Structure 1
Amino acid sequence: MSVFGSPLRRSAALSVVMTAVVAIVFFFPIYFMLVSAFKSEPEIISQRFSFLPLDFQGLGQFQRAAEIAPLGTYLFNSSLVAAINVGVTLLFSALAGYGFAKFTFPGRTALFLFVISTMMIPTQILVVPLFVEIKLLGWVNSYQGLIVPGMMNAFGVFMMRQYVYDIPDEIIEAARADGAGEIRIFFFIVLPLLTPALASLAIIIFMELGKFPLALGCGDA
């Protein structure tokens, strides 16, 4: 133990130091943003860097920001759009995944391939056509213009289909034998079993909302 103890301690110390360095590098932009929030504007744009505000502004900067822009409205709109978009997308993805995984109908494979093929289309290509469509529908500067284009997610359908495949058919058949309808089976048997997958998908969708062209519902052309 005495032979290998010292190298092990040096290796552990080196790992701690490297981890601390990486943590500092990643934390510095956050620290800079927080400190800059309490600096005056000339100090922010100055080439001289300071770790602490030389002219501490207190909460004045936040008050001026609230006067310039309706931050409360922005926060409410973002929260509302994100909540509805994530919730509806989870429901539709679970329904479609359940249908593709547990039901047999003509053209199922071709339709599923068509759905997942849309994942290969870059979002940038869809911005202009979607905006034109939203403008023709009169949804510019409206909640439906922000929510409806992102209500269906091909990746969500694919992910839910793979998870539903792992649900034993015997559970569903037993529920049908007991007289449960398809809607009851989905909401009371399939959906609870998909809770871990739905939680993961919700996080993914929420993070992807920033990349989706939400600006389609704002402005005019």
Structure 2
Amino acid sequence: MVNGLTAVAVNTTAMTLTWAKQSDYKGTYSYLVHYGIKAKEKNITTMNETALISDLIQGTNYTFWVTTVANGIQSDQAITSSYTRPDVIRNLSVTKVTTTSVFLDWTEPQGERSYFRVEWESSSMNNTTSTKERSINIAGLTAGTQYTFRVTAVAADNETQGVPLDTSKFTRPDVIRNLSVTNVTTTSVFLDWTEPQGEKVLL
């Protein structure tokens, strides 16, 4: 019987299966690997205790059965399941920028995904949320501050993640307050005002 069946080196469209060498067979034998989803099931045969499985769909759960075949007789199957990594999202953009909010949208990744993990950070904070949609409005930001926004596709096991895509944007500075004109002469005036809310900006 096959022991220690494990999926390793998992990426978006491929993974490698490994398992322990058969110690109870003395003659010649091979391994039958069966896998697939829905109507796209496949079989491959190998003489080694490893198999590279490729042409998979991103962010998808695959079940693998590995059987020892000796003298035309198959042993009991070993079974394991693993998700491929979701693909990276595309075309991340930041729009509708105000003093305290931005709107993010992006294009779906290739293949499958369950939801998106959305992170935003500045020099003083870091926040994370999730959404099943391909856009999100992020509020409660600080005026005049640079933020890095990062979006990652996550598979249905809530663990397997794609490569994140990020972009940076400043929120709009807030309006200054209490603008006044004093010390008026024939050729000059003196202006002063109160700092805007949020980060200090060049005035």
The TM-score with structure 2 as length reference comes to 0.25
- Larger strand share, 1 or 2: 2
Structure having the higher helix fraction is: 1
Structure index of larger Rg: 2
Per chain length, whose mean CA-contact separation is higher, i.e. which structure has more relative contact order (CA < 8 Å, sep 6+)? 1
